[in-house]
Amino acid sequence: MSTEKTSKNAAYTGLFAALAASSCCIPPVIALIAGVGGSASALSWMEPFRPYLIGLAIVAIGYAWYAYLKPKKEDDCCEIDQKPKWYQTKGFLIGITLFAAVSISFPYYAHIFYPNNNNKEVVVVSQANVETLNFDIEGMTCSGCAAHVENEVNKLSGIISVSASYENENATVTFDKSKTSKEDIVKAINSTGYKVVKQK
């Protein structure tokens, strides 16, 4: 296999690994932007492999850069005079490297794509109807996951506030029980693909 082809394959492998490393967070944001719901977090099972995928992306893209920058052999002089293919250019490698970096870091800024609905006003008829519950949730792995849960729960009527935490694996919801129920909240959380394992 030629060095150029190996370099191209390494760049694509690095790009794929970078996307796969953040696959738990990218589909929910795409679903939000596209306006479709559903279990967009179905790839959250890949989260334990994230460090390995990041390592693979770094090694593969590093190799692509090495293949591009290494000195050409004397018998390759004829190839030097030829115009390089688009995937052999420095611009292509810079683009792949930047896109991979953005993809790998996606979980750290995914929450900015979700609207902040905690500022909405809810008219409470009776203070006796206000209830606060804590839901233990399985499957959240980053701030984007927590924002996804908050966004879905906030779509219900009667939600006064919701705060989800992937570190604590829970969500605290304050709501007007005359307008919504804990069953509705559990259904909204489960619709994201994460699972309520306990409520208190």
pLDDT at 183: 94
Give residue-wise pLDDT tens across range 156-169: 988 998 999 989 99
Number of H helices, E strands in the chain: 8, 4
Architecture of domain 114-199: 2-Layer Sandwich (3.30)
Q: Report the mean per-residue pLDDT for the chain.
A: 80
* Percent of the chain scoring above 70 in pLDDT: 76
Give residue-wise pLDDT tens across range 34-52: 665 555 556 666 777 888 8
pLDDT at 145: 83
pLDDT at 40: 52
What gap in Å lies between CA 61 and CA 117, rounded to an integer?
A: 39
Query: Edge to edge, what strands does the sheet with 159-165 contain?
Result: 159-165, 170-176, 130-138, 195-199
Q: Evaluate if pTM is beyond 0.75.
A: no
* Average pLDDT rounded to a whole number, residues 157-182: 92
The greatest distance separating any two alpha carbons of the chain, rounded to the nearest whole angstrom, comes to: 85
Give residue-wise pLDDT tens across range 101-150: 988 888 888 778 777 665 566 666 688 889 999 999 988 888 888 888 89
